[in-house]
């Protein structure tokens, strides 16, 4: 019996890990479809960002109560995974509670703290479920969350509730067996939370209790492996990608828009032709701005996969607040959806085959792009350092420079700047007229 | 007003301590001209040796760049940097956060390296140095003032305190809007929105922001950006609150209170 369980367990581990690695390497490939961008400078500042933003969740604390609950779920979930290490070792070696043998009192202390965390995680998850579905917080009601994204959020919370319940039920059955003195279930001391229910469980026969304990054990560990493989398809991937995303934040003043050296040089050479290099016919003209995910930077695509759709960006966006179509969260979700579609296309065809779609217009409309005030509230708000504005700017650049597509007022403004050196149709001779009165 | 241009100064073999970058709004917009004059008055009163570029100044290219027209931006940047470098400009002060952000953050990698200061920071330094002295009975004493953060000053460049510190010397009743500092709500003008109509929606952004400012009960909305000033002034007009609420630049408030 034991040996069958061991073999089954090893198979589960191998399959789950294999599938996870396969999916993650596809996501990595999708992210690297983006253009190169060097973001390796100032490593110490970058590690600081990882500690503060990803590990410390600094920006979450702009809303303290939610931040504490989120931190409980996160810390609880991570710390309880130490217990998963024991579970995994038990599974692999065919042992039961392998750590209890040599840890003594520390073991019950450790398990009790896991139980406290499990109860806290359970409570926080229930609160979040109620908050999402009962209280109807405005940013969770936006239309970009209709369908899968809203279900995804609920599935995650429900899964965590189930996993914590399984963990606690397993401990209750275990404790009941200990109290019955059943062979193999050595006394670990009382469990702070699940121990309360153990006396009630003692009415069950030992066989029933073993069945409960084993079922919970299996469902819990299989549940965790399933959840691991659910992550890459879910907004929940942020628990992993928040770390690289915080590391690779662009270190620049928030209001600075990235330069385009190609255009800088083109202007320079037209002004000072003597500086222009001899024409290299092999140098293909590059596309200005971005039309599809291939034109964006890999950093933009990492941003898209790191987004957990919390909508703090959208809640702070002045355009969205006043009822415009623009939602920075939707920009990120669209970018990820497009990257995923391109990825599936590559998986099917070995290389990307034109599918007649691009990010611009098929996913993100001009109306959304034109509503942006570049106020950076979205960038400021994002807890994991996502920059939706950067994508908006690149798409705007494509619209204006590749398609000459701009609202008539903007075209007029461009003309005024070019001819009068001011955005209004006023003569440069009048620029200092204010000094006269 | 007696405002020397850099060309005139150079002709006399002089170099200004600081160049006052007026910006397009400050030069042409009738409302913003008053901010320009107020700031120039302060500089003159304190006998600070400054100059303007006058007719030679050009748009920094901010609205072009943010609308997506990088070519036009690069052309403007090239011309301005040539001009500033030829005049050997070292230090620039400007009353426009958009010009400030571009000159400070976006010109350096194009070859334009200057010490760039926003006028609120400049005023704060003058106050700290004890140079700005207010009249005993400044008309803002006890008045309720709420300060509106400009995106390109605040979130872009982390300047939240300087304008507030300047207002503190008035002994006024300073109140904050709920969305302030890094949470501040945009006035609706940035990203070249100033030059076009809002996209379809429920409300104009400046209406949303002005309502919030009016709700504080302030009689003065202080701004530090000519574009915010325009948007909020329009908002006050639309709310028909012109009799009760005035939108004023920090420089105008100080100029009106100085000895």
B243: contact with A, CB 8 A cutoff: no
Paired tokens of A361: 């217009």
Q: How far is B45 from chain A (nearest CA, A)?
A: 16
* Among B67, B184, B209, beta carbon nearest to A406: B67
* Mean pLDDT computed over every residue of chain A: 93
Q: Which of A234, A252, A278 is the last residue of a domain?
A: A234
Reported as a single tens digit per residue, the pLDDT across A59-73 is 999 899 999 999 999
Residues A299 and A408 in one domain: yes
pLDDT band at A280; cut points 50, 70, 90 = low
Considering its fold, how many domains does chain A have in total? 2
CA-nearest residue to B74 within chain A is A264
pLDDT band of residue A216 (cuts 50, 70, 90) is: very high
Residues A395-429: tens digit of each pLDDT: 999 999 999 999 999 999 999 999 999 999 999 99
Q: Are the beta carbons of A144 and A327 closer than 8 angstroms?
A: yes
Of A172, A199, A234, the one marking the end of a domain is: A234
User: What is the pLDDT confidence band of residue A220, given thresholds at 50, 70 and 90?
Assistant: very high
For residue A374, the domain's CATH number is 1.10.1060
CB proximity B157 to A under 8 Å: yes
Q: Give A58-111 pLDDT, tens digit per residue.
A: 999 989 999 999 999 988 878 877 888 888 888 888 888 888 888 878 888 888
CB A343 within 8 Å of CB A29: yes
Token pair for A160: 């965590």
Whether A17 and A121 map to the same domain: the answer is yes
pLDDT confidence of residue A97: 87
Best probe of the A interface among B31, B38, B70, by most A CBs < 10 A, is: B70
Residues in B 75-94 with any Cβ partner in A closer than 8 A: 75-76, 78
Q: Where in chain B is the domain with CATH 3.40.50?
A: 6-124, 134-257
Parent domain of A87: 2-31+63-234
The Cα–Cα gap between B209 and B179 comes to: 9
pLDDT tens digit sequence for A10-50: 999 999 999 999 999 999 999 999 999 999 999 999 999 99
Do A152 and A301 lie in a common domain? Answer: no
User: Which stretches within B14-104 are classed as H helix?
Assistant: 23-28, 30-45, 62-67, 70-86, 97-101
| Residue A433 belongs to some domain of the structure | no
Question: How far does Cα B170 stand from its chain's mean position?
Answer: 19
Say yes or no: B178 contacts chain A, CB-CB below 8 A.
no
Per-residue confidence in pLDDT tens, chain B, 259 aa: 889 999 999 999 999 999 999 999 999 999 999 999 999 999 999 999 999 999 999 999 999 999 999 999 999 999 999 999 999 999 999 999 999 999 999 999 999 999 999 999 999 999 999 999 998 888 899 999 999 999 999 999 999 999 999 999 999 999 999 999 999 999 999 999 999 999 999 999 999 999 999 999 999 999 999 999 999 999 999 999 999 999 999 999 999 999 8
Contacts B194 to A, Cβ<8 Å = 423
Domain B6-124 has CATH 1.20.1740: no
Domain stop point among A234, A263, A294: A234
| A199 and A104 housed in the same domain | yes
Burial class (CB in 10 A: 0-12, 13-18, 19+), A229: middle
- Please indicate, yes or no, whether residues A67 and A148 belong to a single structural domain of this protein: yes
Asked whether residue A268 is domain-assigned, the answer is no
pLDDT at position A81 is: 77
pLDDT reported for residue A283: 62
pLDDT tens, A112-124?
999 999 999 999 9
Q: Tell me which of 1.10.3470, 3.30.720, 3.40.50, 3.30.70 is the CATH number of domain B134-257.
A: 3.40.50
What whole-number distance in Å separates Cα of residue B12 and Cα of residue A436? Answer: 21
Taking residues A365-392, report their average pLDDT.
Answer: 98
Q: Kindly state whether residues A314 and A419 are assigned to the same domain.
A: yes
Q: Confirm whether A273 is domain-assigned.
A: no
Which B residues in the span 132-151 are in contact with A, Cβ-Cβ below 8 Å? 151
pLDDT band at residue A5 under the 50/70/90 scheme:
confident
Inter-residue contact B92 to B116 (CB < 8 Å): yes
**Residue A212 shares a structural domain with residue A328:** no
Residues A98 and A6 in one domain: yes
pLDDT of residue B103: 98
């Amino acid at each position: 019996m034991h040996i069958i369980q061991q073999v089954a367990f090893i198979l589960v581990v191998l399959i789950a890990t294999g599938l996870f690695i396969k999916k993650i390497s596809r996501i990595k490939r999708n992210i690297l479809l983006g253009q190169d961008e060097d973001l390796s400078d100032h490593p110490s500042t970058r590690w600081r960002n990882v500690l503060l933003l990803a590990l410390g969740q600094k920006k979450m604390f702009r809303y303290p109560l939610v931040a504490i609950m989120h931190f409980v779920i996160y810390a609880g979930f991570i710390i309880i995974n130490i217990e998963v290490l024991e579970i995994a070792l038990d599974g692999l070696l065919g042992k039961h509670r392998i750590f209890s043998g040599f840890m003594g009192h520390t073991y019950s202390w450790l398990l009790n703290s896991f139980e406290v965390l499990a109860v806290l995680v359970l409570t926080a998850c229930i609160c979040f479920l109620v908050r999402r579905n009962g209280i109807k917080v405005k940013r969770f009601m936006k239309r970009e969350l209709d369908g899968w994204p809203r279900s995804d959020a609920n599935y995650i919370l429900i899964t965590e509730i189930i996993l914590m319940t399984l963990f606690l039920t397993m401990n209750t059955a275990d404790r009941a067996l200990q109290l019955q003195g059943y062979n193999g279930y050595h006394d670990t001391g009382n469990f702070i939370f699940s121990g309360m229910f153990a006396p009630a469980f003692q009415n069950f026969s030992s066989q029933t209790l073993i069945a409960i304990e084993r079922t919970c054990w299996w469902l819990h560990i299989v549940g965790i492996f399933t959840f691991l493989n659910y992550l890459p398809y879910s907004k929940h991937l942020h628990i992993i990608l928040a770390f690289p995303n915080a590391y690779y934040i662009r270190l620049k003043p928030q209001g600075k828009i990235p330069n385009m050296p190609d255009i800088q040089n083109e202007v320079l050479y037209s002004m000072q032709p003597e500086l222009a290099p001899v024409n290299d016919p092999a140098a293909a003209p590059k596309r200005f701005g971005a039309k599809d995910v291939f034109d964006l930077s890999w950093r933009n695509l990492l941003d898209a996969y790191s987004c957990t759709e919390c909508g703090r960006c959208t809640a702070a966006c002045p355009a969205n607040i006043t009822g415009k179509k623009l939602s920075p969260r939707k920009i990120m979700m669209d970018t990820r959806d497009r990257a995923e579609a391109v990825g599936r296309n590559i998986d099917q065809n070995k290389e990307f085959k034109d599918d007649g779609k691009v990010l611009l217009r098929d996913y993100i409309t001009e109306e959304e792009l034109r509503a942006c005030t570049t106020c950076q509230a979205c960038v400021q708000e994002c807890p994991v350092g996502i920059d939706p504005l950067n994508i908006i700017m690149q798409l705007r650049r494509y619209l204006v420079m590749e398609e000459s597509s701009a609202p008539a007022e903007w075209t007029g403004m461009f003309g005024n700047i070019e001819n009068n050196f001011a955005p209004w149709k006023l003569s440069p001779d009048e620029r200092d007229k204010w000094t006269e009165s | 007003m007696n405002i020397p241009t850099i060309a005139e100064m150079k002709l006399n073999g002089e170099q200004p301590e600081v160049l006052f970058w007026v910006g397009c709004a400050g030069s042409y917009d009738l409302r913003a001209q008053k901010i320009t004059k107020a700031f120039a008055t302060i500089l003159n009163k304190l006998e600070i040796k400054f100059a303007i570029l006058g007719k030679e100044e050009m748009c920094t290219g901010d609205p072009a760049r943010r609308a997506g027209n990088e070519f036009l931006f690069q052309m403007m940047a090239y011309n301005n940097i040539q001009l500033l470098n030829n005049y050997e400009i070292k230090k620039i002060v400007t009353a426009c956060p958009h010009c400030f952000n571009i000159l400070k953050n976006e010109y350096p990698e194009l070859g334009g390296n200057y010490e760039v200061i926003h006028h609120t920071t400049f005023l704060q330094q003058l106050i700290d140095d004890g140079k700005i002295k207010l009249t005993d009975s400044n008309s803002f004493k006890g008045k309720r003032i709420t300060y509106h953060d400009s995106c390109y000053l605040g979130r872009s460049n982390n300047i939240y305190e300087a304008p507030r510190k300047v207002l503190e010397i008035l002994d006024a009743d300073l109140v904050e809007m709920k969305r302030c500092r890094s949470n501040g709500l945009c006035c609706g003008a940035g990203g070249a929105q100033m030059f076009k109509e809002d996209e379809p929606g429920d409300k104009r952004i400046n209406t949303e922001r002005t309502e919030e400012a009016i709700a504080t009960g302030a009689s003065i909305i202080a701004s530090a950006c000519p574009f915010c000033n325009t948007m909020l002034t329009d908002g006050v007009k639309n709310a028909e609150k012109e009799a009760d609420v005035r939108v004023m630049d920090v420089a105008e408030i100080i100029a009106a209170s100085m000895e």
